Amino acid sequence: MPSLIDLDNNATTPVLRAVCDAMIEAMAPSIGNPSSSHRQGQAARDLIETARSDVAEMLTVNPDQIIFTSGATEGNDAVLRHHRAKVLLTTAGAHPSLIGGHTGRQRLIEVNRDGRIDLTNFEDALQEIGPCVVALAMVNGETGVVQPIDEVCEIGKRYGATILIDAAQAVGRLPRECFGIHSDYVTVSAHKMNGPKGVGCLIVGEDAELPLLASGGGQERGRRSGTENVPGIAGFGAACRQRLETLEQDLQRMKELRDRFERQLEAGLPFARINSKQADRAVTTTSLTTRGIDGMALAARLDTKGIMCSQVSACSSGRPEPSAALMAMGLSEQDAFSTIRFSVSVQTTTDQIDEAAAVIAQEAQFLHGIMGGAA
């Protein structure tokens, strides 16, 4: 078997050693139920509150604004169900969790060719609809494009909108000054930044209503009952602490890796295009359209070579569907089917980038010759 090169870090990232260590510590026999008043219970409570402070520092919010969840999906779902009576304003191709929990009327905001929302169209929609709930991903998981969140919040507030921002693909991939909370709600998943899977948080603005995630024993400010996932929360805090210590260097290094990768792909594949290349993007993500090649076929061949990537065009049933996000940017259905996402992490190396780019060019050229340039 070939050695693995993980270029699918927008799906999930490897857990760091320091995170594993924190989780193991949190599973020690001396750690009890964090709701218990004895020493073992208080040891668990201390781990949770330390993690809450670490997450808050990473996201530049107050610790008491944080409700720990199983991830961004749970937070998104709770907020949208809480505000289901309002019209939902979002974008084509939004993550299913930014749509699924809302059962009322929905309207899409237009995006430009880079995938950034059209602020004029956004304001026109708000003028027509009035108070509504706006649900956006801060960073598009397919292209890495960063939405103009500050402007969205400023315009939205003028029209009484409730604003939910999914920052799962943004934390640890954008400068820290991009965070804070100007919206009503922000959601985060730990596993997108080298933390454990199955844990994240909902950040609630000072003037926002607290949605009920689960009733019962009253944990997490009475909004998400149930005994807390102490090891997961401790790992989440450790991931934030680790990333915060090296964030500036990490961002610079990942950008250099991504740019090196894209230069090599463009040099080796004259029929390919990097989507949204000139846009403001998170440093991790490359969306590559290999015109005339079936993306699923290329991803399958790369998998046999040990290169992990995503052909982000399969719906939940497994039936191939063109990416709605890419088609909203003006890509044809054929080009959407020919697009693959690659994403680096803090653990990606230069040697891996060079090896992957060479293999991708070789396999894409092979398929291009077989398919005759027509997917």
Give the 3-state secondary structure of residue 163: strand
Which residue reads 């760091």 in tokens?
16
Cα 135 from Cα 290, distance rounded (Å): 31
Residue 207 is which amino acid?
D
Give the 3-state secondary structure of residue 230: helix
Which residue reads 């401790």 in tokens?
234
Q: H helices of the chain, where?
A: 17-26, 39-59, 72-82, 119-129, 149-158, 230-268, 295-304, 324-328, 333-337, 350-371
The catalytic position among 20, 153, 178, 315 is 315
Burial (CB < 10 A; 0-12, 13-18, 19+), residue 29, is: exposed
Cα 338 from Cα 332, distance rounded (Å): 10
Residue 241 is which amino acid?
R
Cα 322 from Cα 335, distance rounded (Å): 9
Cα 41 from Cα 30, distance rounded (Å): 9
CB 138 within 8 A of CB 165: yes
Which residue reads 């939405």 in tokens?
147
CB 265 within 8 A of CB 273: no
Give the 3-state secondary structure of residue 212: coil
Let me know if 315 is a catalytic residue. Answer: yes
Which residue reads 């964090």 in tokens?
34
CB 50 within 8 A of CB 237: yes
User: How far is residue 57 CA from its own chain's centroid?
Assistant: 19
Active site residues: 315
